[in-house]
Amino acid sequence: MFLSAVGISVLSFIGAGVWLYEKPRAGLVFLFAIGILSLLTAVFGSRWNADMLTITADVISGGFLLGIITTAMLLGHWYLNTPTMQLGPLQKLVILSGIAIVIRALVSGVGGFMVDATTVSSSFWIFLAFRWLAGILSTFVLVVLTWQTLKIPNTQSATGILYAGVILAFLGELTSQLLSVGRHYPL
């Protein structure tokens, strides 16, 4: 686990240098290698009491959601420095964020249906409600609001809304991790 984290860090550092010197083909190779190594580290570093398909779906959907919405927010910050950029890339990331939330809701929803109501406490239901209200529903509403704000176009407001979306997505994913401890499925 430690060696893979060091490897990802070294590849990221070298990849940043490659992009700095404007070598996009080599940069894409580094991005692909970093992505694959990160995915393998996340999957094999996860709990082993569940089946591999469930672990993989949980890791990929959670990582996809957090990665896409954070990337959209960071790109939105770049628009604040260079306001003449075309909105197309940011709009694509906002659409991908909505898709990521829907995928994450499906993966978490399957786990939610598998909960045995007789074996959980009332605090479990409170945390599950928070996970869905903050991490899924509110984040989706903020992505829709961001889309509407980009129609104006107001990238400064869109970036602020995405910032709030990133915070809610992280809170939802942390709550999901908390709820999923000791279970064979993601929540």
Torsion of CA 178, 180, 181, 182, to 10 degrees: 160
| One domain for residues 27 and 69 | no
Mean pLDDT over 123-131 rounds to 92
The answer to whether residue 186 sits within a structural domain is no
- Kindly state whether residue 145 falls inside one of the protein's structural domains: yes
Residues 89, 3 within the same domain: no
| Whole-structure pTM value | 0.83
Q: In the block, which residue shows the tokens 């000791």? A: 182
81 plus 38 within the same structural domain: no
Q: Is 1 exposed, middle or buried (0-12, 13-18, 19+ CB in 10 A)?
A: exposed
Looking at the structure, tell me whether residues 146 and 102 fall in a common domain: yes
> Which pLDDT score, from 0 to 100, does residue 46 have?
66
Lowest mean pLDDT, pick from 19-23, 84-88, 152-156, 165-169:
19-23
Look at residue 26 and tell me whether its pLDDT is greater than 80: yes
- Residue carrying the six token digits 């991490």: 135
User: Residue 47 above 80 pLDDT?
Assistant: no
The secondary structure of 94-153 as a DSSP string is: HHHHHHHHHHHHHHHHHHHHT--GGGS-HHHHHHHHHIIIIIIIIHHHHHHHHHHHHTTT
Judge if 33 and 90 occupy the same domain. Answer: no
Helix (H) or strand (E) holding 87: none
Picking from 93, 61, 101, 100, the residue whose alpha carbon sits closest to that of residue 77 is 93
Q: Is pLDDT at 145 greater than 90 in this prediction?
A: yes
Model confidence pLDDT, tens digit, residues 69-83: 999 999 999 988 888
Looking at the structure, tell me whether residues 13 and 38 fall in a common domain.
yes
- Kindly state whether residue 165 falls inside one of the protein's structural domains: yes
- Count of domains in the chain? 2
Domain annotation covers residue 143: yes
Q: Rounded distance, CA 141 to CA 128, Å?
A: 18
Instruction: Give the structural domain span for 75.
Output: 50-180
pLDDT for the residue 182: 75
Mean pLDDT across 121-139: 93
